[in-house]
Amino acid sequence: MEVENILLDFKNGKIDLEQANSSIRSMGYVPVSDIAKIDTFRKHRTGIMEAILAEGKQPEDIVEIAKAQVNAMGRALITRLDKESSKALENEFEPGKIEWSIHKTTAAVSDGTPAPRSGGKVAIISAGTADIIVAEEARMVASEMGCETQTIYDVGVAGFHRLINEMLKLKDCKPDAIVVAAGREGTLPTVVSSLVDVPVIGLPVSTGYGAGARGEAALLSMLQSCSVLSVVNIDGGFVAGSSAARIANKMAEMRKIGSRD
């Protein structure tokens, strides 16, 4: 339950002060057996909801945690899923209650509660198709945080003309922030940042091979960028998506305030 709903119930006499106080305090976290404590109040405290990291968890634990979060908040986001864990979610949630990333490594499950819509806009760009898994994590995080998303995939600098042809999409959607995922030498975020007037977040991806493998060359290249951009950790799709959404949501708030003046 949202804080606003609890306060409305108190205002309308549906619950007393003690019940309202207890309900708000219980929003701090929800324990799940002896394996997890879901931080259900995080999105109110920081603007970023808690996601379920599937890595290191058994499929049955992922399902139990997801169900508890859905019961508490209406929706749950699960990242870094493998095939076994994805199958476990499919067996538990109805098809209409689960949304997937392209390769089913990220999922959003719900009780039918829709994701919020903030008015923020985030573009997600990938250098290669091998970078899409991480880019999709960023996309789904931004979407769960209320943003409209636009994807432009496989436009790396090995074929620079592809990016130029796709730039019209950015002009049309007018994003508030852009996440650019790239492996190998990680050049694309620098190029994109030199062409646009909104914040760009570089997302290094652990694709490629050789001396700069595991995303290390991409990370260093982005940190050394001669155009201005922010950079997250290697394969940090969640952080990139949430950072972009934070920017976009703040911009959406400002547009609403401006429209009222």
pLDDT tens digits, one per residue of 171-184:
889 999 999 999 99
Average pLDDT, the chain: 92
Backbone torsion region of residue 88, taken as left when φ is above 0, otherwise alpha when ψ lies between -120 and 50, otherwise beta: alpha
Quick one: pLDDT at residue 176?
98
- Better-scored residue on pLDDT, 25 or 219: 219
Residues contacting 121, CB < 8 A, separation 6+ = 147, 148, 149, 150, 173, 174, 175, 176, 248, 252
Confidence of residue 259 (pLDDT cuts 50, 70, 90): confident
- Residues 89-101 have a mean pLDDT of 95
Quick one: pLDDT at residue 261?
64
Quick one: pLDDT at residue 22?
73
- Residues 181-204 have a mean pLDDT of 96
Residues in a beta bridge with 151: 124
Is this structure's pTM higher than 0.75? yes
Quick one: pLDDT at residue 1?
53
Percentage of the chain beyond pLDDT 90 is: 73
